């Protein structure tokens, strides 16, 4: 039996005619950049997650960069985040010139520890950037009130948490600005790269919209005026002002969601209930089957509905278990093997082993197994059997 850790092909096959028709329509239309499908997907995804504005972009990494830039975060600023995440979270902070400040996660949810985040605030801190890791919601009430008390922005990295709820609603997982990824394996995955920024703030939305197309046009003009206003400097009256795309006001990016991706993602969004329920069903069957074993199954915070982008088990000898699983064709892997505070690229920040003990322990003792919604029952049964066997000698 050949099982994949994540199988996007099978997701395509489930609704192939629908996705292919949507893509073909774009191919035949000649309208490959922007257009109705992109705008409609922005509106529909924002409505699904419970935000006012959706600004699509090239990928989830860019979504974080756009969010940080729109909030005016850059050189000299600190952003508190987690080390127990995918590299892009901290990479984006560094890419805008700011410094990521890493704090440890909670041992049960694997998400940012709010107390440690608050303790890490300095006069240079501009934002807290938690990650809804594996699809589990962070303690958003605590993080929101810390941000409010200290005048900080709350930026949510929702790359792994499309469909996750906190206190019964998806919108409760959102920050002042929230960043999503539509990488193919994600809960809502396109057939290529894609991302989106969500916010309720019209000015931030406009700023992101300008940044993603070279800081141009009307949104760019408004963004530049906002920059001058924020600095208390009068807007110069001698610069060329126009609202076409050939008037550039910010150093931005070329980061657009393709019309083909938008068209496919719109169709996939209509199946999100089924996708998230499929992941949750697989997770709950694993939990039940492994409850009396030495594996620690994922904790689900009582006020969050986990969307299980990743289902990870914890075991003190995870490395040996993974070798045994791989030997019998069960795919598995650590997400992620090197915590960010120990990555070579961040060596100059001065972190050392032992600084974030929970994160470091999780990187050694957890491993993911397939949880994608289209996993067959017999595949799941085989995985459970192999997991139990791996514990025997």
Compare residues 62 and 379 and give the one whose CB is closer to ligand PLP.
Answer: 62
Contact between 255 and ligand PLP by CB under 6 A: the answer reads no
Contact between 304 and ligand PLP by CB under 6 A: the answer reads no
Contact between 131 and ligand PLP by CB under 6 A: the answer reads yes
Kindly state the smallest distance separating residue 47's Cβ from ligand PLP, in Å. Answer: 21
> CA triplet 220, 194, 283: central angle to 5 degrees?
135
Contact between 181 and ligand PLP by CB under 6 A: the answer reads yes
Contact between 160 and ligand PLP by CB under 6 A: the answer reads yes
Kindly state the smallest distance separating residue 183's Cβ from ligand PLP, in Å. Answer: 4
Mark 61-80 with x for binding to ligand PLP (rule: CB under 6 A) and - for no binding: x-------------------
Kindly state the smallest distance separating residue 84's Cβ from ligand PLP, in Å. Answer: 10
Contact between 59 and ligand PLP by CB under 6 A: the answer reads yes
If one counts every other C-beta atom within 10 angstroms of the C-beta of residue 122, the result is 8
Paired sense of beta strands 177-181 and 195-199, if any: antiparallel
Please report, as residue ranges, which positions from 228 to 247 form the binding site for ligand PLP (by CB under 6 A): none
Span from 8-16, 57-65, 219-227, 368-376 in contact with ligand PLP (CB under 6 A) = 57-65
Compare residues 156 and 321 and give the one whose CB is closer to ligand PLP.
Answer: 156
Distance from C-alpha of 240 to C-alpha of 242, rounded to nearest angstrom: 7
Paired sense of beta strands 125-129 and 366-369, if any: unpaired
Contact between 183 and ligand PLP by CB under 6 A: the answer reads yes
Paired sense of beta strands 366-369 and 311-314, if any: antiparallel
Distance from C-alpha of 230 to C-alpha of 234, rounded to nearest angstrom: 10
Distance from C-alpha of 8 to C-alpha of 171, rounded to nearest angstrom: 27
Mark 84-123 with x for binding to ligand PLP (rule: CB under 6 A) and - for no binding: -xx-xx----------------------------------
| Residue number closest to ligand PLP, CB atom | 60
Contact between 197 and ligand PLP by CB under 6 A: the answer reads no
Burial of residue 302 (CB within 10 Å: 0-12, 13-18, 19+) is exposed
Contact between 83 and ligand PLP by CB under 6 A: the answer reads no
Q: Do 214 and 248 meet the contact criterion of CB atoms below 8 Å apart?
A: yes
How far, CA to CA in Å, does 191 sit from each of 14, 213, 239?
14, 22, 42
Kindly state the smallest distance separating residue 309's Cβ from ligand PLP, in Å. Answer: 8
Distance from C-alpha of 77 to C-alpha of 125, rounded to nearest angstrom: 6
Distance from C-alpha of 357 to C-alpha of 134, rounded to nearest angstrom: 19
Compare residues 212 and 380 and give the one whose CB is closer to ligand PLP.
Answer: 212
Alpha helices, DSSP H, located in the chain? 8-14, 16-29, 36-49, 60-70, 88-95, 114-119, 140-150, 202-211, 217-231, 259-269, 272-290, 318-327, 357-365, 377-391
Kindly state the smallest distance separating residue 336's Cβ from ligand PLP, in Å. Answer: 9
Span from 114-122, 157-165, 255-263, 361-369 in contact with ligand PLP (CB under 6 A) = 157-165
Compare residues 60 and 373 and give the one whose CB is closer to ligand PLP.
Answer: 60
- What is the dihedral sign for C-alpha 340, 341, 344, 349? positive
Figure out which of the listed residues 6, 41, 60, 257 binds ligand PLP, where binding follows CB under 6 A: 60
Contacting positions for ligand PLP (CB under 6 A): 59-61, 85-86, 88-89, 131, 157, 159-160, 181, 183, 193, 195
């Amino acid at each position: 039996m050949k099982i994949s850790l994540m199988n996007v092909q099978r997701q395509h096959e489930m609704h192939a005619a629908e996705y292919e028709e949507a893509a073909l329509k774009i191919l035949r239309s000649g309208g490959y950049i922007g257009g109705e499908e992109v705008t409609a997907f922005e509106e529909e995804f924002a409505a699904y997650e419970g935000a006012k504005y959706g600004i699509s972009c090239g990928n989830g990494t860019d979504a974080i960069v756009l969010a940080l830039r729109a909030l005016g975060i850059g050189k000299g600023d600190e952003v508190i985040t987690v080390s127990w995440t995918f590299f892009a979270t901290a990479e984006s902070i560094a890419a805008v010139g700011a410094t990521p400040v890493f704090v440890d996660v909670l041992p049960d949810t694997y998400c940012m520890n709010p107390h440690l985040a608050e303790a890490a605030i300095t006069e240079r801190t501009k934002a807290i950037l938690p990650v809804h890791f594996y699809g589990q919601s962070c303690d958003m009430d605590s993080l929101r009130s810390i941000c409010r008390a200290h005048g900080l922005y709350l930026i949510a990295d929702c790359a792994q948490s499309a469909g996750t709820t906190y206190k019964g609603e998806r919108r409760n997982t959102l920050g002042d600005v929230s960043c999503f990824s539509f990488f193919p394996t994600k809960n809502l995955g396109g057939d290529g790269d894609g991302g989106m920024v969500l916010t309720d703030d019209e000015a931030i939305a406009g700023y992101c919209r300008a940044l993603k197309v070279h800081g141009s046009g009307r949104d760019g003009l408004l963004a530049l005026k906002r920059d001058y206003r924020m600095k208390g400097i009068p807007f110069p009256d001698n610069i060329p002002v126009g609202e076409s795309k050939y008037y550039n006001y910010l150093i931005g990016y070329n980061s657009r969601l393709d019309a083909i991706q938008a068209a496919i993602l719109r169709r996939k969004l209509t199946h999100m209930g089924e996708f998230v329920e499929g992941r949750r069903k697989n997770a709950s069957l694993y939990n039940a089957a492994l409850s009396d074993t030495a594996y620690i199954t994922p904790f689900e915070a009582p006020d969050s509905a986990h969307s299980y982008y990743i289902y990870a088990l914890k075991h003190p000898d995870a490395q040996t278990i993974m070798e045994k699983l791989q030997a019998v064709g069960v795919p598995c892997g650590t997400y992620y093997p090197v915590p960010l505070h120990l990555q070579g690229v961040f060596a100059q920040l001065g972190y050392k082993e032992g600084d974030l003990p929970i994160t470091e322990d999780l990187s050694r003792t957890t491993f993911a197994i397939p949880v994608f919604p289209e996993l067959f029952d017999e595949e799941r049964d085989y995985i459970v059997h192999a997991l139990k066997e791996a514990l025997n000698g």
